[in-house]
Amino acid sequence: MSKNALIQFVEDQVTVKDFPAFGAGDTVTVTYKIIEGDKERLQKFQGVVLQRVGEGPTATFTVRKISSNIGVERIFPVASPFIQEIEVNKKGSVRRARIFYLRELRGKKARIKEARR
């Protein structure tokens, strides 16, 4: 078996849950299962989606939030079995697919205009 065939075989085994459509600039809440020893709990991570990368089971997305005046970014794989749900809180209107310029902005300048429906 070639390397590409092995990768394709593994990707076919992975199931991707059906999440709502979201993209860069949207504010989302990701409910994530955390396992500590023999206990498990659900944790919510709410922030702005900076980017979506890839497609299918290898896709990832980056979410940024401000916690105690410190910017926290987390990269989630879309096919992760630990993601319980993704809730889209606000649809943002941005002109770029990757909004890394948000990292330098603070306060009111870091607001994203809400998309009209």
What type of residue is 3? K
If one compares 41 and 106, the residue with the highest pLDDT of the two is: 41
Q: What angle do CA 69, 28, 71 make, to 5 degrees?
A: 20
Token pair, residue 71, equals 């910017």
Average pLDDT score over residue span 49-77? 90
Structural domain spans, the chain: 3-102
What residues contact 83, with CB distance under 8 A and at least 6 apart? Answer: 17, 19, 30, 31, 32, 33, 76
In this predicted structure, what is the pLDDT of residue 104? 86
Q: Enter the CATH code of domain 3-102.
A: 2.30.30.790
Q: What is the pTM of this model?
A: 0.82
18-38 pLDDT, tens per residue? 788 888 999 999 999 999 999
